[in-house]
Amino acid sequence: MGLSKWEEDLLKNADAVMDKSPMEDLYAGVFFNQNRKKYWIDKATFGNCFMVFARDFTVAWGSDKRYWDWPSIKETSEVFIDVAELLMVCWLSVKSKFDTANLTAGMNYEVVFVMMIKENSRGWSAPVTFTLILPNGNKQQHEESLLKKPRSQWFEIQVGEFMVEPKNDGIIEFSLSKSKENWKTGLVVKGGAIPTKGKKVTLIVRNVNDLSRDVIKSDTASVKIPEIDLELAGGTLGGLVITVEGLVTKINESLERVHGFTFGDSLDEDRRSKWLDFKARLLKLLNIEETWTLILDNALENSFIAPTTYDIKDDFQLTFEYERSWEHNKELGLNDMDTSFVDVAYAS
């Protein structure tokens, strides 16, 4: 696939010198505008995707050092970005704009805030308001509590979703806000991602060749193998470039580290037996005695499982499904599910 004139110009004006082939650079992501934005092409949909980092946001009181700090963090091995760290405010307002003309016409997109709550944060008992205003003026808005979000690790919250219509592109506005007069501290905002709508990658593992497929698991992707009731929360294992076989082995090693499988007196015999049984079922997957399913669920859509065919659509064992919308999750009661037990059980 050749580059468009727009993509060629973007590579020429990138913040860093590119050292790969042009398409590899665009798949991996290109930083521009003094590391305030990142652009990449999604491998599954070939859609244009963007990350708008915090420095490109309008932050109320953001220039006042009493209220906000702007530390630099390492985003890649060579790129540092500034994040917005809340020291203390009563009136919280963080917002940005983006021109949908830069996105791929006809595709579905979502807007996702990437943020963190620090360990000693306070003032988050009331939910925060997330708002997306589309070019036609339609508004999507919901409230979400940050109180039970994991501390000191990045997580994502979907703001809204939309389709890019060729005759109706324009500026979108997205924000998080809270106007209650209690003091709030400890929020860190990395930015807002605008990927093609988050996906679930599902692979039916049928033979030894499937174990050799390459897997890109992002740091935020959850991993599920329903046949053995395995579900690892997003953030578990970190980001990986690995094979299917390597991923299963890595999961086993993580469980060995966390639970030991040399429990001694730390667990009663019944729980010990259950964990050993689970380990045996996990490793049995590598023998391919039965078909099993690997699912990568990722809000930011930057995880991938390699197809065995030239065209992804011809690999019938591999599917890329769009996630449910926030509203659909609310109807199903999924937004309020308590997954803390799973997070504790499998955290590495």
Which of 50, 112, 106, 116 shows the shortest CA–CA distance to 83? 116
Domain end marker among 161, 194, 227? 194
Percent of residues, the chain, with pLDDT higher than 90: 50
Asked if residue 238 and residue 108 are part of one domain, the reply reads no
Reply yes or no on whether the pLDDT at 66 is more than 90: yes
The model's pLDDT over 172-197, given as tens digits with 9 standing for 90+, comes to 999 999 987 689 999 999 999 999 88
Is residue 6 very low, low, confident or very high in pLDDT (cuts 50, 70, 90)?
low
Task: Quote the domain boundaries for residue 48.
Answer: 5-194
pLDDT at site 275: 81
pLDDT at residue 311 in the model: 67
Is the per-residue pLDDT at 264 higher than 60?
no
* Contact of 33 with 82, CB cutoff 8 Å: no
- Identify the top-confidence range among 128-142, 273-287, 305-319: 128-142
**Single residue among 159, 194, 229 that ends a domain in this structure:** 194
Same domain? 173 vs 207: no
Alpha helices, H only, 166-301:
208-211, 244-259, 269-284
Q: Tell how strand 185-194 and strand 48-53 pair up.
A: antiparallel
- pLDDT given for residue 329 in this prediction: 40
Last residue of a domain, one of 144, 165, 194: 194
Q: 16 phi and psi, to 5 degrees? A: -120, 155
SS3 state at 170 = coil
Q: What is the pLDDT of residue 167?
A: 76
How far apart are alpha carbons 338 and 10 in whole angstroms?
43
Are 177 and 40 in a shared domain?
yes
Distance CA 124, CA 185 (A): 8
pLDDT at 209 > cutoff 90:
yes
Is the Cβ–Cβ distance between 199 and 323 less than 8 Å? yes
Q: Are residues 64 and 189 in the same domain?
A: yes
CA nearest neighbour of 74 among 35, 131, 127, 28:
35
Question: What is the spatial order of strands in the sheet that 128-133 belongs to?
Answer: 58-59, 92-99, 171-178, 128-133, 139-144
Let me know whether 305 and 189 are in one domain. Answer: no
